[in-house]
Chains A and B, each alone.
Chain A
């Protein structure tokens, strides 16, 4: 090997310079636990993809003040609360993690909420809808100091759903028996009765993954409901829709945001036509606002027109916002707060998040938080869609 003295000399000089010895500044690390596998991984894998896109985008732009960002701890809980707790313990034991994202559902998120509050590091909720996640002592009390949310909150969603259902006099609500379903159903019922005092609302529950819903549906039928709302996930909604067809039930059908996803469209086939649903308005508007359009382009470039995006390159599925876009927004909000705080100290990031004003999100056009308000979604961020069959494709058209 032929190494000249001059080369060795330059090397020695370089090593002796403190500025050069400190190679790259330490990476800024994020972590989360979510349903990456299992029957509900459309949500967990979705936010994982959104987070990956946000991290790549940030690093391509030079990182945060020259520091790269990374998803250092990404663990799978399959939407099982116990596993989410174990995973979060492991993530919190890693002191290098400076910001987190909540799991992909109300059950696991409720299970970890107290732990993360006690820890103090900032965490943002992409999908869990139960209001007590952010406001454990009631909506009129202060939120958890370090927990913020960009998800479709049950509170806001119920207002939007109630507005759409208020035209009927008798409504049936069929909901899954989880925290998400129970809270969602109760909030919609309260909102409906508040809007229209004489309204008759029948409420029925089912266990996730039930293969036959006849008992629930005939009870709704017996109550002479003119419209029915389903609060649950897509695969169960497909079972309900097919069951309705077998019972020759032809009432107006509404779905909550979690229900109108790909498993519903695939499982119920042509029967989905006419279903109305509440979801993020951003992806249904034309033209989309700039941040939504940028996110859609980034997703398509990285993952293509897949199951989350849908087959139509020009019109991504509306559910892409809630399943993937919300994960993208969570990580971008953390990045923005760290940049503004100029620090990775937990208290300073939380303070910066509290001061977030009109941040351009993909799913919510303008995201703002205050120390009293940690929920970004507002009524105008949601839209009511109708599912239509166009050729062999299902499209959701924004109605309101």
Chain B
């Protein structure tokens, strides 16, 4: 029989790791189409969770509140691409201005949320299950909230992987990621794909926000900022641009940090993710599932 201590850590690690994977996947989506990442993802997570709280408090059914919030957050993706990423890319000819502009937009969103929803933590309602709901597997209590997080994250990642590999639109995304100018010449609607990637990326951030908010039980304007850093670590560890890499990277960061927290010291739990990042950059910069970048002379 599996040790209770190890099993509890493993399950929590898988669950939070699945959320990191979703965030990493969101970062990957925009990386495919524009070679940029939205570092304001954390604020979109917060916004989606806050809007869900607000809409459900107005009497909307929970499912509708979540869907409505996801739509709003997805629309923000269009705004982010148009007003923070595109100008930065055009103005600076490929420099890293978008890092500051997306981060700045995230901080701006935090301020707006603090103004309209207040800056204190507010209770986040249980979406599907409560913290008391669990099933017993081989004599171990397994939280249904954790299982939902894992199931949703894995399902979304697999669906996206299938979309990219098996559909025409997925192939078009692949073409844009390789050479956007050539893709445009071949009649691929590059602008549409870029906008779509930002919308989907933002919606994924929203899903991650709702999933993690129900674990913690509260949400406040600063929610999500630390999580994006861990999602970024997961994306780099797994290999930028790889969906399976995002999943593997997220789970690796989640499980290792919980195991280190449990077996070594809780004070080291947070730091281990960044130690992993440094190690990965030194030993395998392309990540677990990434391919080394080759540039032709």
Contacts and interface: CB of A to CB of B under 8 A. Distances in A.
Given A42-B120, A307-B120, A212 B217 contact: no
Contacts of B92: none
Interface string B118-161: 01111110000001101000000101011000000000000000
A263 B212 contact: no
Contacts of B124: 267
B121 A219 contact: no
Interface stretch (A88-96, A109-117, A200-208, A286-294): A200-208
Interface string B1-12: 000110011011
A352 B161 CA distance: 73
Interface in B192-237: 212, 215-218, 220-223, 226-227
Contact of A216 (B11, B114, B146, B266): B266
A342 interface: no
Contacts of B141: 246-248
Given A209-B226, A215-B12, A215-B258, A39 B220 contact: yes
B267 interface: yes
Task: Describe B's contact surface by its main secondary structure.
Answer: helix
Nearest to A265: B123
Interface string A234-276: 1100110011011110000000000000110011110100000
Contact of A37 (B8, B114, B143): B114
Nearest to A203: B266
Interface string B55-69: 000000000000000
Tell me which of B141, B220, B258 has the highest count of chain A C-beta atoms within 10 A of its own C-beta. Answer: B220
A6 interface: no
A210 to B, nearest CB: 8
Contacts of A41: 119-120
A234 B134 contact: no
Task: Describe A's contact surface by its main secondary structure.
Answer: helix
B120 A215 contact: no
A211 B119 contact: no
Nearest to B269: A215
A390 interface: no
B240 interface: no
Contacts of A268: 217
A246 B218 contact: no
Contact of B119 (A39, A177, A239, A262): A39
A218 interface: yes
Interface in A317-376: none
Contacts of A239: 215-218
B266 A267 contact: no
Contact of B217 (A216, A218, A267): A267
B261 A216 contact: yes
Tell me which of B8, B134, B216, B257 has the highest count of chain A C-beta atoms within 10 A of its own C-beta. Answer: B216
A62 interface: no
A38 interface: yes
B288 interface: no
B270 interface: yes
A212 B215 contact: yes
Given A206-B266, A242-B131, A267-B121, A211 B220 contact: no
A246 B146 contact: yes
Contacts of A212: 12, 15-16, 215-216, 258
Interface string A30-50: 000000011101100000000
B125 to A, nearest CB: 9
A214 B258 contact: yes
Interface residues of A, number: 39
B131 A218 contact: no
A239 B122 CA distance: 12
Tell me which of B5, B121, B131, B143 has the highest count of chain A C-beta atoms within 10 A of its own C-beta. Answer: B121
A245 B16 contact: no
A216 to B, nearest CB: 5
A222 interface: yes
A234 B121 contact: yes
Nearest to A216: B266
Contacts of A238: 121, 123, 216-218
Contacts of A234: 121
Contact of B121 (A39, A177, A206): A39
A387 B220 CA distance: 24
A134 to B, nearest CB: 28
A322 to B, nearest CB: 15
B120 A39 contact: yes
Nearest to B124: A267
A218 B119 contact: no
B14 to A, nearest CB: 11
Nearest to A218: B8
Contacts of B143: 246-247
B97 interface: no
B262 interface: yes
A214 B12 contact: yes
Nearest to A206: B266
A247 B141 CA distance: 7
Contacts of B227: 211
5 contacts: A215-B257, A215-B262, A235-B218, A248-B134, A269-B217
Interface of B: 4-5, 8-9, 11-13, 15-16, 114, 119-124, 131-132, 134, 141, 143, 145-146, 212, 215-218, 220-223, 226-227, 257-258, 261-262, 266-267, 269-270
The 3 closest A-B pairs by CB, nearest first: A215-B261, A214-B12, A235-B121
Given A214-B12, A214-B262, A266-B122, 19 more contacts: A39-B121, A212-B12, A212-B15, A215-B9, A215-B261, A235-B218, A238-B121, A238-B123, A239-B216, A242-B131, A242-B217, A246-B131, A246-B134, A246-B141, A246-B146, A247-B141, A267-B217, A268-B217, A271-B131
